[in-house]
Amino acid sequence: AIVWGDIALIDGSINARGSDITKTGGFVETSGHDLFIKDNAIVDAKEWLLDPEEVSINALEFGRSDIPQEDSEYTSENASGEPERKKNKNTPTLTNSTLEKILARGSHVNISASKRIYVNSSINIGNNGHLILWSEGKNSGGIEINEDITSTGGNLTIKSGGWVDIHKNITLGEGTLNITAKGDIAFEDKRGVPKQNRLITGQGNITSGNQKGFRFENISL
| CA pair distance 198, 190, nearest whole angstrom | 12
The percentage of residues in the chain with a pLDDT greater than 70, rounded to a whole number, is: 75
Three state DSSP letters for 167-217: CCCEEEEEEEEEEEECCCEEECCCCCCCCCCEEEEEECCEEECCCCCEEEC
pTM of the model: 0.81
Q: Mean pLDDT of all residues in the chain?
A: 81
Give percent helix, percent strand, percent coil of the chain, each to the nearest 5: 5, 45, 50
pLDDT band at residue 65 using 50, 70 and 90 as cut-offs = very low
> Region 86-111: what's the mean pLDDT?
82
pLDDT band at residue 180 using 50, 70 and 90 as cut-offs = very high
What is the DSSP pairing of strand 130-135 with strand 108-113? parallel
> Region 161-176: what's the mean pLDDT?
95
Task: Count CA atoms closer than 13 A to 113's CA, side-chain side.
Answer: 25
pLDDT: is 86 or 150 the higher one? 150
- pLDDT at residue 84 in the model: 58
